[in-house]
Structure 1
Amino acid sequence: MLQNANCYEFKVGGSGDWSVPMDANANNYNQWAERSRFQIGDTLSFSYSADKDSVLLVNKADFDNCNTASPIEKYSDGQSVVKFNHSGAYFFISGVHDNCVKNEKLHLVVMADRSHNNQTASSPPPSPSVDEVPPSPAPSGEEAPSPPSDSGETNQTPAPSQESSPPKNGASSTVMSFVGSAAALVGSSILLGF
């Protein structure tokens, strides 16, 4: 594995050799991929005999069935390098059907971009503070209630706000817990005369 800036070049299977595994029942390439962490911008190199094999990038159904008829991409130069341009699953099989059946195939998952240069969705803007939230308008067809008169005849209690108060953070809970404990200690000391 070679590192270039924040990207890595992986050699398929660790050695780069793309061939039928010694044990055709083993999933050597998939086991290797499970131990590796692929990111957007990384590359994967395949080394093989161009006159005897190739590498196909396929969908999951073609991977499962070793279907070589309709690849997404075909690499056949003997020294193929694939760059991961998006996160998600990648499926590679041998261009030789019999080799694929003997587990010359690879499924790997590419994680998100480690440099965050390829973000497609921006984060949502921060929520406005309580001071910035404009008051709700009165429903259409209704008038806003008039302010109470200054006569002082009635002392109405304002209706509770329909908006919930902002959630308290952990720091304020901790401070309140500490203050409450300290007050209990001082209060019990005064009562017990210590």
Structure 2
Amino acid sequence: MKSVDATEFRVGGSDGWTVTTSFNYNQWAEKNRFQVGDSLLFDYDSGKDSVYQVNKEDYDKCHTEKPIETYKDGHTSIKLDETGTLYFISGNCGNCRKNEKMVVQVMACRGSCNSAASLGYLSCLGVVGAFVASLLL
């Protein structure tokens, strides 16, 4: 079985998650390849900002009333555990309106990888069972 290396992406580079005129989060996200197992690291001033995961409509309108997830600790690491599109906005509505928001497209994992469930299942089978099961994967 191959092991898959995950990458932690620091959102916003050295500036972190903040309102800035010189950084476009969506352009940054488009230049990166996010895959299952990777994580996003948001660094921000927890007294002034936060990170909300929202749906597309709330992303488009900077609505903060019904987030899917809310993060306020100032150093938030979000593991990307499934494929699809994720929407993040600042929990500060004014910041969101100043483009402190980002769309992330998560792709399938690198190369030939196995899910954690498959790996757990194989470890229960023992050496011979793992060999036979690997032939079936």
The two structures have a TM-score, normalised by structure 1, of 0.55
Between 1 and 2, higher relative CO (CA 8 Å, sep ≥ 6) is seen in 2
Mapped contact 1:63–1:92 kept (Cα < 8 A)? yes
Shift of 1:14: 2.7
Alpha-carbon distance in structure 1 between the residues aligned to 2:15 and 2:106: 18
Alpha-carbon distance in structure 2 between the residues aligned to 1:118 and 1:63: 30
5+ residue gaps, structure 2: 118-137
Flag the structure with higher helix content.
2
Q: Which residue of 2 aligns with 1:82?
A: 78
Kindly report the root-mean-square deviation, in angstroms, between the aligned alpha carbons of the 2 structures.
2.1
Alpha-carbon distance in structure 1 between the residues aligned to 2:44 and 2:108: 29
Mapped contact 1:43–1:83 kept (Cα < 8 A)? yes
Q: Which residue of 2 aligns with 1:123?
A: none
From the CA coordinates, give the structure whose radius of gyration is larger: 1
Shift of 1:108: 1.1
Q: Aligned with 1:15: secondary structure?
A: helix
Alpha-carbon distance in structure 2 between the residues aligned to 1:119 and 1:64: 34
Q: Which amino acid aligns with 1:19?
A: T
1:51 is the counterpart of 2:50: no
Q: Deviations over 1:112-170 (max 9, x none)?
A: 022521399xxxxxxxxxxxxxxxxxxxxxxxxxxxxxxxxxxxxxxxxxxxxxxxxxx
The two structures have a TM-score, normalised by structure 2, of 0.77
- In the TM superposition, structure 1's runs of 4+ consecutive aligned residues that sit over 2 Å from their partners are 13-16
5+ residue gaps, structure 1: 121-194
Alpha-carbon distance in structure 2 between the residues aligned to 1:36 and 1:107: 12
Q: Which residue of 2 aligns with 1:20?
A: 19
* Paired positions, count: 114
